[in-house]
Structure 1
Amino acid sequence: MPPALKALIAQLLGCTAAFAAARSGVLPAGLWPLVAVQAAAATGAAVALKSAHWWRWIHLGFLPLVVGALQLGIPPGWYLAAFLVFALIYWSSFRTQVPLFLSNRLTAETVAGLLPAERPAKLLDLGSGTGSLLRPLARMRPDCRFEGMESAPAPYALSCLLSRAQPNISLARGDFWLIPWSDYDVVYAFLSPVPMSRVWSKASAELRPGSLLVSNSFPVEGVEPESVVEVGDRRRTRLYCYLPAGPAPVLKTGIAVP
Protein backbone atom coordinates (compact mmCIF):
# COMPACT_ATOMS: atom_id res chain seq x y z
CA MET A 1 0.00 0.00 0.00
CA PRO A 2 1.43 3.45 -0.85
CA PRO A 3 2.56 5.40 2.25
CA ALA A 4 0.26 8.34 1.44
CA LEU A 5 -2.75 6.02 1.31
CA LYS A 6 -1.77 4.46 4.63
CA ALA A 7 -1.54 7.95 6.13
CA LEU A 8 -5.00 8.88 4.83
CA ILE A 9 -6.54 5.68 6.20
CA ALA A 10 -4.90 6.21 9.59
CA GLN A 11 -6.23 9.77 9.83
CA LEU A 12 -9.73 8.68 8.83
CA LEU A 13 -9.69 5.89 11.42
CA GLY A 14 -8.54 8.43 14.01
CA CYS A 15 -11.46 10.72 13.14
CA THR A 16 -13.85 7.78 13.36
CA ALA A 17 -12.54 6.87 16.81
CA ALA A 18 -12.87 10.47 18.00
CA PHE A 19 -16.45 10.68 16.66
CA ALA A 20 -17.37 7.40 18.39
CA ALA A 21 -15.84 8.61 21.66
CA ALA A 22 -17.77 11.87 21.45
CA ARG A 23 -21.06 10.05 20.81
CA SER A 24 -20.45 7.71 23.73
CA GLY A 25 -20.26 10.57 26.24
CA VAL A 26 -17.17 9.18 27.98
CA LEU A 27 -14.95 12.15 27.13
CA PRO A 28 -14.75 15.40 29.13
CA ALA A 29 -16.26 18.44 27.47
CA GLY A 30 -14.07 20.47 25.16
CA LEU A 31 -12.14 20.19 21.94
CA TRP A 32 -8.78 18.93 23.17
CA PRO A 33 -9.99 15.54 24.51
CA LEU A 34 -11.35 14.82 21.02
CA VAL A 35 -8.06 15.90 19.48
CA ALA A 36 -6.14 13.62 21.84
CA VAL A 37 -8.31 10.61 20.99
CA GLN A 38 -7.96 11.27 17.25
CA ALA A 39 -4.18 11.60 17.47
CA ALA A 40 -3.79 8.46 19.58
CA ALA A 41 -6.11 6.41 17.36
CA ALA A 42 -4.43 7.60 14.15
CA THR A 43 -1.03 6.68 15.60
CA GLY A 44 -2.31 3.24 16.60
CA ALA A 45 -3.74 2.74 13.11
CA ALA A 46 -0.37 3.68 11.60
CA VAL A 47 1.31 1.04 13.76
CA ALA A 48 -1.28 -1.55 12.69
CA LEU A 49 -0.73 -0.63 9.04
CA LYS A 50 3.04 -1.05 9.53
CA SER A 51 3.83 2.49 8.46
CA ALA A 52 7.43 3.67 8.80
CA HIS A 53 8.23 4.76 12.34
CA TRP A 54 8.42 8.48 11.48
CA TRP A 55 4.81 8.39 10.26
CA ARG A 56 3.72 7.54 13.81
CA TRP A 57 5.15 10.79 15.13
CA ILE A 58 3.51 12.67 12.27
CA HIS A 59 0.10 11.22 13.12
CA LEU A 60 0.58 11.89 16.81
CA GLY A 61 1.28 15.58 16.24
CA PHE A 62 -0.71 16.35 13.08
CA LEU A 63 -4.16 17.28 14.41
CA PRO A 64 -2.91 18.90 17.67
CA LEU A 65 -0.64 21.16 15.62
CA VAL A 66 -3.42 22.00 13.15
CA VAL A 67 -5.87 22.89 15.92
CA GLY A 68 -3.23 24.87 17.79
CA ALA A 69 -2.30 26.82 14.66
CA LEU A 70 -5.97 27.61 13.94
CA GLN A 71 -6.42 28.98 17.45
CA LEU A 72 -3.46 31.32 16.93
CA GLY A 73 -5.28 33.05 14.09
CA ILE A 74 -2.33 32.98 11.67
CA PRO A 75 -3.24 34.55 8.28
CA PRO A 76 -3.78 31.91 5.53
CA GLY A 77 -1.03 33.36 3.34
CA TRP A 78 1.63 32.14 5.77
CA TYR A 79 0.36 28.57 5.43
CA LEU A 80 0.60 28.82 1.65
CA ALA A 81 4.12 30.23 1.88
CA ALA A 82 5.22 27.47 4.24
CA PHE A 83 3.70 24.84 1.96
CA LEU A 84 5.55 26.21 -1.08
CA VAL A 85 8.88 26.33 0.77
CA PHE A 86 8.56 22.76 2.00
CA ALA A 87 7.39 21.57 -1.42
CA LEU A 88 10.44 23.11 -3.10
CA ILE A 89 12.77 21.50 -0.56
CA TYR A 90 11.23 18.06 -0.10
CA TRP A 91 9.31 17.75 -3.40
CA SER A 92 8.38 14.04 -3.75
CA SER A 93 9.55 12.83 -0.31
CA PHE A 94 5.98 11.82 0.58
CA ARG A 95 6.09 9.32 -2.31
CA THR A 96 9.70 8.16 -2.21
CA GLN A 97 10.03 8.21 1.62
CA VAL A 98 13.47 9.72 1.15
CA PRO A 99 13.99 12.93 3.16
CA LEU A 100 16.75 15.47 2.57
CA PHE A 101 19.96 14.18 4.16
CA LEU A 102 23.20 16.15 3.89
CA SER A 103 26.60 14.43 3.93
CA ASN A 104 29.21 16.12 6.12
CA ARG A 105 32.84 16.85 5.31
CA LEU A 106 34.22 13.87 7.24
CA THR A 107 31.99 11.61 5.17
CA ALA A 108 33.29 13.22 1.97
CA GLU A 109 36.87 12.62 3.10
CA THR A 110 36.07 8.98 3.84
CA VAL A 111 34.41 8.50 0.45
CA ALA A 112 37.46 10.08 -1.19
CA GLY A 113 39.53 7.34 0.40
CA LEU A 114 37.33 4.72 -1.28
CA LEU A 115 38.01 6.07 -4.78
CA PRO A 116 40.69 4.36 -6.89
CA ALA A 117 43.99 6.05 -6.07
CA GLU A 118 45.81 5.03 -9.26
CA ARG A 119 43.37 6.38 -11.85
CA PRO A 120 40.52 8.89 -12.32
CA ALA A 121 37.09 7.67 -11.31
CA LYS A 122 33.51 8.64 -11.97
CA LEU A 123 31.04 8.89 -9.09
CA LEU A 124 27.25 9.29 -9.09
CA ASP A 125 25.47 10.73 -6.05
CA LEU A 126 21.86 9.51 -5.88
CA GLY A 127 19.79 12.41 -4.58
CA SER A 128 22.70 14.84 -4.38
CA GLY A 129 20.78 17.49 -2.40
CA THR A 130 22.77 20.69 -2.03
CA GLY A 131 25.96 19.04 -3.30
CA SER A 132 27.44 18.76 0.20
CA LEU A 133 29.26 15.55 -0.76
CA LEU A 134 30.29 16.45 -4.30
CA ARG A 135 31.92 19.83 -3.66
CA PRO A 136 34.57 18.65 -1.17
CA LEU A 137 35.15 15.49 -3.23
CA ALA A 138 35.74 17.59 -6.34
CA ARG A 139 38.36 19.65 -4.49
CA MET A 140 40.12 16.60 -3.07
CA ARG A 141 40.15 14.69 -6.36
CA PRO A 142 40.28 17.17 -9.26
CA ASP A 143 41.20 14.30 -11.60
CA CYS A 144 37.85 12.57 -11.02
CA ARG A 145 34.36 13.27 -12.37
CA PHE A 146 31.50 13.76 -9.91
CA GLU A 147 27.86 13.75 -10.97
CA GLY A 148 24.71 14.31 -8.95
CA MET A 149 21.03 13.73 -9.62
CA GLU A 150 18.45 15.59 -7.52
CA SER A 151 14.67 15.88 -7.98
CA ALA A 152 13.80 18.67 -5.50
CA PRO A 153 14.03 22.15 -7.09
CA ALA A 154 15.44 24.15 -4.16
CA PRO A 155 18.38 21.86 -3.23
CA TYR A 156 19.20 21.39 -6.90
CA ALA A 157 19.28 25.15 -7.57
CA LEU A 158 21.46 25.74 -4.51
CA SER A 159 23.87 22.96 -5.51
CA CYS A 160 24.25 24.46 -9.00
CA LEU A 161 24.97 27.87 -7.50
CA LEU A 162 27.54 26.62 -5.00
CA SER A 163 29.40 24.35 -7.43
CA ARG A 164 29.45 26.64 -10.46
CA ALA A 165 33.25 27.15 -10.20
CA GLN A 166 34.07 23.43 -10.04
CA PRO A 167 34.34 22.05 -13.58
CA ASN A 168 34.58 18.38 -12.53
CA ILE A 169 31.05 18.47 -11.06
CA SER A 170 28.00 17.85 -13.24
CA LEU A 171 24.49 18.19 -11.80
CA ALA A 172 21.09 17.32 -13.23
CA ARG A 173 17.54 17.55 -11.95
CA GLY A 174 15.50 14.42 -12.43
CA ASP A 175 14.90 10.83 -11.37
CA PHE A 176 18.03 8.75 -10.82
CA TRP A 177 16.04 5.56 -11.44
CA LEU A 178 15.64 6.57 -15.08
CA ILE A 179 19.32 6.93 -15.94
CA PRO A 180 21.82 4.10 -16.52
CA TRP A 181 24.44 3.53 -13.84
CA SER A 182 26.78 1.45 -15.97
CA ASP A 183 29.29 4.25 -16.59
CA TYR A 184 30.14 4.85 -12.94
CA ASP A 185 32.92 3.46 -10.79
CA VAL A 186 31.16 4.46 -7.55
CA VAL A 187 27.48 5.02 -6.82
CA TYR A 188 26.81 6.81 -3.52
CA ALA A 189 23.42 6.73 -1.78
CA PHE A 190 22.27 8.57 1.35
CA LEU A 191 18.56 7.82 1.07
CA SER A 192 16.50 5.83 3.60
CA PRO A 193 15.87 2.14 4.32
CA VAL A 194 12.84 2.12 1.99
CA PRO A 195 14.47 2.20 -1.48
CA MET A 196 17.63 0.24 -0.67
CA SER A 197 16.44 -3.11 -2.05
CA ARG A 198 15.57 -1.38 -5.33
CA VAL A 199 18.94 0.39 -5.34
CA TRP A 200 20.62 -2.99 -4.91
CA SER A 201 18.62 -4.53 -7.76
CA LYS A 202 19.49 -1.72 -10.17
CA ALA A 203 23.14 -1.67 -9.12
CA SER A 204 23.41 -5.44 -9.50
CA ALA A 205 21.88 -5.26 -12.98
CA GLU A 206 23.85 -2.29 -14.32
CA LEU A 207 27.17 -1.70 -12.53
CA ARG A 208 30.36 -3.17 -14.01
CA PRO A 209 32.39 -5.72 -12.04
CA GLY A 210 34.56 -3.85 -9.56
CA SER A 211 32.21 -0.86 -9.33
CA LEU A 212 31.36 0.13 -5.78
CA LEU A 213 27.98 0.89 -4.22
CA VAL A 214 28.33 2.99 -1.06
CA SER A 215 25.29 3.48 1.19
CA ASN A 216 25.47 6.03 3.97
CA SER A 217 23.80 4.74 7.17
CA PHE A 218 21.31 2.37 5.52
CA PRO A 219 22.41 -1.19 4.67
CA VAL A 220 20.77 -3.35 2.04
CA GLU A 221 18.56 -5.76 3.96
CA GLY A 222 19.65 -9.37 3.58
CA VAL A 223 22.89 -8.53 1.73
CA GLU A 224 26.29 -8.76 3.42
CA PRO A 225 28.42 -5.69 2.64
CA GLU A 226 31.94 -6.10 1.33
CA SER A 227 33.05 -3.78 4.14
CA VAL A 228 31.64 -1.30 6.65
CA VAL A 229 33.61 1.92 7.12
CA GLU A 230 33.26 3.99 10.29
CA VAL A 231 33.43 7.71 9.48
CA GLY A 232 34.16 8.81 13.03
CA ASP A 233 31.88 11.85 13.07
CA ARG A 234 29.52 12.91 15.85
CA ARG A 235 26.55 11.04 14.43
CA ARG A 236 28.62 7.83 14.11
CA THR A 237 28.08 7.52 10.39
CA ARG A 238 28.70 4.16 8.77
CA LEU A 239 29.33 3.59 5.08
CA TYR A 240 28.15 0.21 3.80
CA CYS A 241 30.24 -0.78 0.78
CA TYR A 242 29.05 -3.36 -1.75
CA LEU A 243 30.36 -4.88 -4.97
CA PRO A 244 27.01 -5.65 -6.67
CA ALA A 245 28.56 -7.22 -9.79
CA GLY A 246 31.47 -8.80 -7.95
CA PRO A 247 35.16 -7.85 -8.01
CA ALA A 248 36.81 -6.78 -11.22
CA PRO A 249 38.31 -9.65 -13.22
CA VAL A 250 42.09 -9.84 -13.07
CA LEU A 251 44.46 -10.91 -15.82
CA LYS A 252 47.21 -13.41 -15.15
CA THR A 253 49.64 -10.50 -15.02
CA GLY A 254 47.73 -9.17 -12.03
CA ILE A 255 46.47 -6.13 -13.91
CA ALA A 256 42.74 -5.45 -13.51
CA VAL A 257 40.71 -5.50 -16.72
CA PRO A 258 39.37 -1.96 -17.33
Structure 2
Amino acid sequence: MPPALKALLSQVAGLAIAFALARAGLVAGLWPLVGVQALGATVAATALNSARWWLPIHLCFLPLVVGAHGLDLHPGVYLGAFVLLVLVYWTSFRTQVPLYLSNRDTARAVAELLPARPARLLDIGAGTGSLLRPLARARPDCHFTGVELAPATWLVGRLLAAGMANLDCQRGDLFARPWHDYDLVYAFLSPVPMAEVWQKAARELRPGSVLLSNSFPVPGREADFVVEVGDRRATRLYGYRIGQRAHA
Protein backbone atom coordinates (compact mmCIF):
# COMPACT_ATOMS: atom_id res chain seq x y z
CA MET A 1 0.00 0.00 0.00
CA PRO A 2 1.42 3.44 -0.88
CA PRO A 3 2.55 5.42 2.20
CA ALA A 4 0.23 8.33 1.38
CA LEU A 5 -2.78 5.97 1.32
CA LYS A 6 -1.71 4.45 4.64
CA ALA A 7 -1.51 7.95 6.11
CA LEU A 8 -4.98 8.86 4.84
CA LEU A 9 -6.53 5.64 6.15
CA SER A 10 -4.86 6.13 9.53
CA GLN A 11 -6.25 9.64 9.90
CA VAL A 12 -9.72 8.49 8.84
CA ALA A 13 -9.54 5.62 11.33
CA GLY A 14 -8.63 8.06 14.10
CA LEU A 15 -11.57 10.29 13.19
CA ALA A 16 -13.92 7.28 13.16
CA ILE A 17 -12.77 6.21 16.63
CA ALA A 18 -13.21 9.73 18.02
CA PHE A 19 -16.67 10.04 16.42
CA ALA A 20 -17.79 6.67 17.79
CA LEU A 21 -16.65 7.48 21.32
CA ALA A 22 -18.29 10.90 21.15
CA ARG A 23 -21.61 9.38 19.98
CA ALA A 24 -21.43 6.88 22.84
CA GLY A 25 -20.90 9.72 25.32
CA LEU A 26 -17.54 8.32 26.44
CA VAL A 27 -15.49 11.34 25.36
CA ALA A 28 -16.54 14.98 25.35
CA GLY A 29 -14.82 18.27 24.71
CA LEU A 30 -12.62 19.44 21.84
CA TRP A 31 -9.17 18.54 23.13
CA PRO A 32 -10.09 15.10 24.52
CA LEU A 33 -11.57 14.26 21.11
CA VAL A 34 -8.48 15.61 19.36
CA GLY A 35 -6.30 13.45 21.63
CA VAL A 36 -8.39 10.35 20.93
CA GLN A 37 -8.17 10.97 17.18
CA ALA A 38 -4.40 11.42 17.34
CA LEU A 39 -3.89 8.24 19.35
CA GLY A 40 -6.29 6.32 17.12
CA ALA A 41 -4.51 7.46 13.98
CA THR A 42 -1.13 6.49 15.47
CA VAL A 43 -2.38 3.02 16.44
CA ALA A 44 -3.90 2.55 12.99
CA ALA A 45 -0.62 3.59 11.33
CA THR A 46 1.22 1.06 13.48
CA ALA A 47 -1.26 -1.66 12.48
CA LEU A 48 -0.70 -0.78 8.81
CA ASN A 49 3.08 -1.18 9.25
CA SER A 50 3.80 2.46 8.44
CA ALA A 51 7.42 3.58 8.71
CA ARG A 52 8.40 4.64 12.24
CA TRP A 53 8.77 8.30 11.29
CA TRP A 54 5.07 8.45 10.34
CA LEU A 55 3.99 7.77 13.94
CA PRO A 56 4.93 11.15 15.48
CA ILE A 57 3.37 12.83 12.44
CA HIS A 58 0.03 11.13 13.11
CA LEU A 59 0.29 11.84 16.81
CA CYS A 60 0.87 15.57 16.27
CA PHE A 61 -1.08 16.28 13.07
CA LEU A 62 -4.60 17.10 14.32
CA PRO A 63 -3.45 18.74 17.60
CA LEU A 64 -1.24 21.08 15.57
CA VAL A 65 -4.03 21.81 13.09
CA VAL A 66 -6.52 22.66 15.84
CA GLY A 67 -3.94 24.65 17.79
CA ALA A 68 -2.90 26.63 14.71
CA HIS A 69 -6.54 27.37 13.89
CA GLY A 70 -6.94 29.05 17.26
CA LEU A 71 -4.00 31.37 16.57
CA ASP A 72 -5.88 33.10 13.74
CA LEU A 73 -2.76 33.28 11.57
CA HIS A 74 -2.67 34.84 8.12
CA PRO A 75 -3.19 32.26 5.33
CA GLY A 76 0.21 33.19 3.93
CA VAL A 77 1.86 31.68 7.03
CA TYR A 78 0.36 28.28 6.21
CA LEU A 79 1.36 28.59 2.57
CA GLY A 80 4.91 29.51 3.57
CA ALA A 81 5.14 26.57 5.99
CA PHE A 82 3.84 24.21 3.32
CA VAL A 83 6.33 25.44 0.73
CA LEU A 84 9.18 25.11 3.24
CA LEU A 85 8.20 21.54 4.09
CA VAL A 86 8.00 20.66 0.40
CA LEU A 87 11.45 22.13 -0.25
CA VAL A 88 12.95 20.20 2.68
CA TYR A 89 11.23 16.83 2.29
CA TRP A 90 10.53 16.99 -1.45
CA THR A 91 9.68 13.42 -2.56
CA SER A 92 9.95 11.69 0.83
CA PHE A 93 6.34 10.55 0.58
CA ARG A 94 7.28 8.57 -2.56
CA THR A 95 10.81 7.43 -1.76
CA GLN A 96 10.07 6.82 1.96
CA VAL A 97 13.46 8.34 2.77
CA PRO A 98 13.11 11.03 5.47
CA LEU A 99 15.77 13.58 6.34
CA TYR A 100 18.42 12.00 8.57
CA LEU A 101 21.50 13.99 9.59
CA SER A 102 24.75 12.20 10.41
CA ASN A 103 26.48 13.40 13.58
CA ARG A 104 30.16 14.14 14.24
CA ASP A 105 30.73 10.80 15.98
CA THR A 106 29.65 9.08 12.79
CA ALA A 107 31.90 11.34 10.71
CA ARG A 108 34.88 10.33 12.88
CA ALA A 109 34.01 6.65 12.46
CA VAL A 110 33.75 7.04 8.68
CA ALA A 111 37.07 8.91 8.58
CA GLU A 112 38.77 5.90 10.17
CA LEU A 113 37.44 3.70 7.35
CA LEU A 114 38.94 5.82 4.58
CA PRO A 115 42.13 4.42 3.05
CA ALA A 116 45.44 6.11 3.90
CA ARG A 117 45.86 7.09 0.25
CA PRO A 118 43.78 9.86 -1.40
CA ALA A 119 40.27 8.51 -1.91
CA ARG A 120 36.87 9.53 -3.21
CA LEU A 121 33.69 9.28 -1.12
CA LEU A 122 30.10 9.71 -2.28
CA ASP A 123 27.31 10.48 0.19
CA ILE A 124 23.96 9.54 -1.38
CA GLY A 125 21.19 11.56 0.24
CA ALA A 126 23.68 13.98 1.77
CA GLY A 127 21.13 16.32 3.37
CA THR A 128 22.89 19.44 4.59
CA GLY A 129 26.34 17.85 4.32
CA SER A 130 26.69 17.20 8.06
CA LEU A 131 28.87 14.15 7.38
CA LEU A 132 30.89 15.58 4.52
CA ARG A 133 32.14 18.84 6.01
CA PRO A 134 34.01 17.24 8.96
CA LEU A 135 35.44 14.64 6.59
CA ALA A 136 36.58 17.27 4.09
CA ARG A 137 38.36 19.18 6.86
CA ALA A 138 39.94 16.04 8.33
CA ARG A 139 41.13 14.65 4.99
CA PRO A 140 42.10 17.46 2.60
CA ASP A 141 43.83 14.87 0.40
CA CYS A 142 40.50 13.16 -0.36
CA HIS A 143 37.57 14.32 -2.49
CA PHE A 144 34.01 14.21 -1.18
CA THR A 145 30.77 14.42 -3.16
CA GLY A 146 27.27 14.74 -1.78
CA VAL A 147 24.09 14.15 -3.75
CA GLU A 148 20.80 15.52 -2.40
CA LEU A 149 17.44 15.81 -4.16
CA ALA A 150 15.53 18.16 -1.82
CA PRO A 151 16.18 21.76 -2.91
CA ALA A 152 16.28 23.41 0.53
CA THR A 153 18.63 20.94 2.19
CA TRP A 154 20.86 20.86 -0.89
CA LEU A 155 21.10 24.67 -0.88
CA VAL A 156 21.96 24.77 2.83
CA GLY A 157 24.66 22.16 2.27
CA ARG A 158 26.02 24.03 -0.73
CA LEU A 159 26.26 27.29 1.20
CA LEU A 160 27.88 25.68 4.24
CA ALA A 161 30.45 24.00 2.00
CA ALA A 162 31.46 27.21 0.25
CA GLY A 163 35.22 27.54 0.02
CA MET A 164 35.91 23.84 0.61
CA ALA A 165 37.79 22.81 -2.52
CA ASN A 166 37.57 19.07 -1.87
CA LEU A 167 33.80 19.02 -1.27
CA ASP A 168 31.21 19.07 -4.06
CA CYS A 169 27.49 19.30 -3.20
CA GLN A 170 25.31 18.28 -6.13
CA ARG A 171 21.55 18.25 -6.50
CA GLY A 172 20.09 15.16 -8.14
CA ASP A 173 18.69 11.65 -7.84
CA LEU A 174 21.08 9.28 -6.08
CA PHE A 175 20.30 6.52 -8.59
CA ALA A 176 20.75 8.72 -11.66
CA ARG A 177 24.49 9.42 -11.36
CA PRO A 178 27.21 6.78 -11.90
CA TRP A 179 29.15 5.45 -8.90
CA HIS A 180 32.14 4.01 -10.79
CA ASP A 181 34.73 6.49 -9.55
CA TYR A 182 34.23 6.17 -5.80
CA ASP A 183 36.13 4.18 -3.20
CA LEU A 184 33.36 4.45 -0.61
CA VAL A 185 29.64 5.15 -0.97
CA TYR A 186 27.87 6.23 2.23
CA ALA A 187 24.10 5.93 2.71
CA PHE A 188 21.85 7.08 5.55
CA LEU A 189 18.46 6.51 3.96
CA SER A 190 15.79 4.06 5.21
CA PRO A 191 15.16 0.32 4.88
CA VAL A 192 13.02 0.85 1.77
CA PRO A 193 15.66 1.60 -0.94
CA MET A 194 18.52 -0.52 0.44
CA ALA A 195 18.00 -3.49 -1.89
CA GLU A 196 18.14 -1.17 -4.89
CA VAL A 197 21.15 0.65 -3.43
CA TRP A 198 22.99 -2.66 -3.12
CA GLN A 199 22.14 -3.66 -6.69
CA LYS A 200 23.55 -0.40 -8.02
CA ALA A 201 26.65 -0.67 -5.83
CA ALA A 202 27.31 -4.25 -6.93
CA ARG A 203 26.79 -3.30 -10.56
CA GLU A 204 28.86 -0.10 -10.66
CA LEU A 205 31.46 0.06 -7.89
CA ARG A 206 34.96 -1.27 -8.52
CA PRO A 207 36.15 -4.36 -6.63
CA GLY A 208 37.64 -3.25 -3.34
CA SER A 209 35.21 -0.35 -2.94
CA VAL A 210 32.87 -0.22 0.06
CA LEU A 211 29.18 0.47 0.47
CA LEU A 212 28.62 1.83 4.00
CA SER A 213 25.07 2.12 5.33
CA ASN A 214 24.17 3.98 8.50
CA SER A 215 21.60 2.06 10.59
CA PHE A 216 19.91 0.18 7.74
CA PRO A 217 21.50 -3.10 6.54
CA VAL A 218 21.06 -4.49 3.05
CA PRO A 219 18.19 -7.00 3.23
CA GLY A 220 19.17 -10.63 2.77
CA ARG A 221 22.93 -9.96 2.79
CA GLU A 222 25.30 -10.23 5.71
CA ALA A 223 27.56 -7.23 6.23
CA ASP A 224 31.30 -7.76 5.86
CA PHE A 225 31.85 -5.63 8.95
CA VAL A 226 29.81 -3.61 11.44
CA VAL A 227 31.10 -0.50 13.21
CA GLU A 228 29.59 0.48 16.57
CA VAL A 229 29.87 4.28 16.59
CA GLY A 230 29.25 4.59 20.33
CA ASP A 231 27.06 7.69 20.18
CA ARG A 232 23.77 8.37 21.95
CA ARG A 233 21.85 6.97 18.98
CA ALA A 234 23.73 3.65 19.28
CA THR A 235 24.53 4.08 15.59
CA ARG A 236 25.75 1.09 13.61
CA LEU A 237 27.53 1.30 10.28
CA TYR A 238 27.09 -1.73 8.02
CA GLY A 239 29.95 -2.21 5.58
CA TYR A 240 29.83 -4.21 2.35
CA ARG A 241 33.03 -4.76 0.38
CA ILE A 242 32.59 -4.99 -3.35
CA GLY A 243 34.26 -8.05 -4.87
CA GLN A 244 33.52 -11.09 -6.95
CA ARG A 245 30.63 -12.08 -4.67
CA ALA A 246 28.90 -8.75 -5.38
CA HIS A 247 28.89 -9.39 -9.12
CA ALA A 248 27.94 -13.05 -8.93
Q: What TM-score do the two structures reach when normalised by structure 1?
A: 0.85
List gaps (5 residues or longer) in structure 2. Answer: none
**Higher mean C-alpha deviation, range 209-218 or range 194-203:** 194-203
Q: What are the superposed Cα offsets for residues 210-256 of structure 1, whole Å, 9 maximum, x if unpaired?
A: 110111222223321111112233433222111144489xxxxxxxx
Report what 1:84 is aligned to: 83
CA displacement 1:66-100 (0-9 Å, x = unmatched): 11221232332222222222222222222222222
- Paired letter, 2:120: K
CA distance in structure 2 between the aligned counterparts of 1:246 and 1:240, rounded to whole angstroms: 19
Q: TM-score, normalised by structure 2?
A: 0.88
1:107–1:231 CA contact under 8 A, matched in 2: yes
The residue type equivalent to 2:76 in the other structure is G
Cα distance change on mapping 1:32 and 1:214 into 2, 3 Å: same
Query: Taking structure 1 as reference, are residues 15 and 203 closer, same or farther at Cα in structure 2, changes over 3 Å only?
Result: same
Partner of 1:14: 14
Specify the SS of the correspondent of 2:53. Answer: helix
Equivalent position of 1:112 in the other structure: 111
Report if the CA contact (8 A) 2:21-2:27 is conserved.
no
Query: Aligned AA for 2:141?
Result: D
116 and 58 in structure 1: CA distance in 2 versus 1, 3 angstrom threshold: same
Q: How many residues align?
A: 246
Aligned-pair Cα RMSD in Å: 2.3
> Whose radius of gyration is greater, 1 or 2?
1
Letter aligned with residue 15 of structure 2: C
Q: Deviations over 1:92-148 (max 9, x none)?
A: 22222222222223322221221221x322111011112222222222222222111
Instruction: Determine the structure 2 residue equivalent to 1:145.
Output: 143
Task: Tell me what 1:3 maps to.
Answer: 3
1:224 aligns with 2:227: no
2-structure distance, mates of 1:141, 1:127: 21
Match of 1:132 in 2: 130
- Identical-residue share of aligned pairs (%): 64
Distance 2:235 2:40 in 1: 35
- Unpaired segments ≥5 residues, structure 1: 249-258
- The answer (yes or no) to whether the contact 1:200–1:244 under 8 Å persists in 2 is no
The CA deviation at 1:33 is 4.1
What is the CA distance between 1:198 and its match in structure 2? 2.1
Distance 1:80 1:99 in 2: 21
Distance in 2 of aligned mates of 1:84 and 1:98: 19
| Contact 2:146 2:169 (C-alpha < 8 Å) held by counterparts | yes
CA distance in 1, matches of 2:40, 2:27: 17
Cα distance, 1:236–1:41 mapped onto 2, change above 3 Å? closer
